[in-house]
Chain A
Amino acid sequence: MLHSLHKFSLFMASKPQRLHQVAENNFQGSAKRVRTMATSTAIEPAMKDAFTGYAEYLNDLNDKRERVVKASRDITMNSKKVIFQVHRMSKFNKVEVLEKAEKDLAAVTDQYVSRLVKELQGTDFWKLRRAYSPGIQEYVEAATFCCFCKNGTLLELDEINKTLLPLNDPSLHPLQINVLDYLLGLADLTGELMRLAIGRISDGELEFAEKICKFVRDIYRELTLVAPLMDDNSDMKTKMDVMLQSVMKIENACFSVHVRGSEYIPLLGTDDPSSFLVGVPDIEL
Chain B
Amino acid sequence: MHQKKRENGNLHINTMQYMKPAFRNVAPYCHVYSRSLNPDPLLLVSPFWRPETFRLSVPVSCFSSSMAEPQSSLEKQFDSFRVQLEQSGTLRGRIRSVVSEIESSTRLIYATLLLVHQSRPTPGLLEKAKSQVNVLKEQYKELSEVLGGSSGQYYRYHGDWKSETQTVVSMLTFMHWLETGSLLEHKEAEEKLGLGSDFGLDVEDYLIGVCFMSNELPRYVVNQVTAGNYDCPKKVLKFLTDLHAAFRMLNLRNDLLRKKFDGMKYDLRKVEEVYYDVKIRGLTPNGELIGDLEIKEPKDNRLL
Contact = CB atoms under 8 A, between A and B. Distances in A.
> Do A and B originate from a single complex?
yes
Interface of A: 18, 21-22, 25-26, 29, 33, 36-37, 40, 42-44, 46-48, 50-55, 57-59, 62, 122-123, 125-127, 129, 153-154, 156-158, 179, 183, 218, 221-233, 237, 240, 244
A52 B249 contact: yes
Contact of B81 (A42, A50, A154, A226): A226
Contact of B243 (A47, A59, A127): A47
B251 A37 contact: no
Nearest to B58: A225
Please tell me the size bucket of the interface on B.
35 or more
Given A62-B251, A225-B58, A237-B31, A22 B78 contact: no
Contact of A157 (B77, B154, B252, B280): B77
B132 interface: no
Contacts of B247: 51
A47 B155 contact: no
30 contacts: A25-B279, A25-B280, A37-B245, A40-B249, A43-B245, A44-B182, A46-B182, A50-B183, A51-B250, A54-B186, A57-B203, A58-B204, A123-B154, A125-B152, A126-B153, A126-B155, A126-B158, A129-B156, A153-B74, A156-B74, A179-B84, A221-B63, A224-B26, A225-B26, A226-B78, A227-B27, A229-B57, A229-B88, A231-B88, A240-B27
A129 B207 CA distance: 22
Given A125-B152, A224-B26, A228-B57, A55 B82 contact: no
Interface of B: 24, 26-27, 30-31, 33-35, 57-58, 62-63, 73-75, 77-78, 81-82, 84-86, 88-89, 92, 152-156, 158-159, 182-183, 185-186, 203-204, 207, 241-243, 245-253, 272, 276, 279-280
A22 B280 contact: yes
A154 to B, nearest CB: 6
By Cβ-Cβ distance, the 8 closest A-B pairs, closest first, are A229-B85, A126-B155, A127-B155, A51-B246, A222-B78, A228-B30, A224-B27, A228-B31
Contact of B251 (A50, A58, A123, A240): A58
Contacts, number: 137
A229 B93 CA distance: 12
A26 B279 CA distance: 10
Of B62, B207, B241, B247, the most chain A CB neighbours within 10 A belong to B241
B249 A55 contact: yes
The dominant DSSP class at the A interface is: helix
A128 B89 CA distance: 21
A215 B222 CA distance: 69
Nearest to B156: A126
Contacts of A59: 251
A231 B156 contact: yes
Contacts of A43: 242, 245-246
Contacts of B159: 232
Contacts of B73: 153, 156
A182 to B, nearest CB: 8
A167 B43 CA distance: 48
B72 to A, nearest CB: 9
Contact of B30 (A58, A158, A224): A224
Of B63, B74, B186, the most chain A CB neighbours within 10 A belong to B74
